[in-house]
Amino acid sequence: MDQRTPFDEDFYPDILRGLSVYFDSPFVRNIARTVQRFRRQDLSIALNRKQIACKTWLLDELHRTYGGDYRSVWVLGGWYGVLSALFAEDQRYRIDGIVSYDIDSACEEVAECLNREGAMSGSFKARTADMLKLDYASGTPDLIINTSCEHLEDVSAWLDLIPHGTRLVLQSNNYFGEPDHFNCASSLEEFKAQAPISNIDYEGELALKNYTRFMLIGTR
């Protein structure tokens, strides 16, 4: 009988691989591969229930608002590429290409592992870049997603870089206790003031343990 314990390095990846077979899920299979290859504590944060709940909420409301067909999507502050992987898993979406940008270069290879099929086919790319220095005027995507507005000191200044008419999904929160959260919002109304966009097609909030997530879907 196999006597492995949770302290064995293959314990959780093996469970995830089993689940991926049962659910026929590349997403779960790639999680198993990623957590085995990259022993990083913050992967557990990127994949925790609150992070997944916020991204699932985004997928649902975006589909209700604009549908699921996109030529090009940019995810800013994409971290380990979890949102991109969820897009690929969600049968409602048909996206020709997703680029996940993060300022931390260590995120690239993790995101490409988590989005293995897309990285191999060329439909997914992970890039290291500062969102404040991207060239938004050339090759503007169909959709720009920024779920990390609380990390920007001035959301309005960032928005000024983006051409008018660009579709956006923006998220922030009221979790002031995190040192890297430079610009949290106390309420949805405050977030709307921080992120002035010309047209809001969806606005809402998601109450979670310890904080509330705010979201705007609209056009620049």
Map out the domains of the chain with their CATH numbers: 11-39 (no CATH), 48-219 (3.40.50.150)
Answer whether 191's CB lies under 8 Å from 149's CB: yes
Nearest Cα residue to 156 out of 204, 186, 197: 197
Other CB atoms within a 10 A radius of the CB of residue 157 amount to: 10
Q: How many residues in the chain?
A: 220
User: What pLDDT does residue 65 have?
Assistant: 98
- Which is more confident, 128 or 24? 128
Query: What tens digit of pLDDT does each residue of 100-156 get?
Result: 999 999 999 999 999 999 999 999 999 999 999 999 988 789 999 999 999 898 999
Averaged pLDDT, 177-189: 80
- Note the maximum CA span of the chain: 63
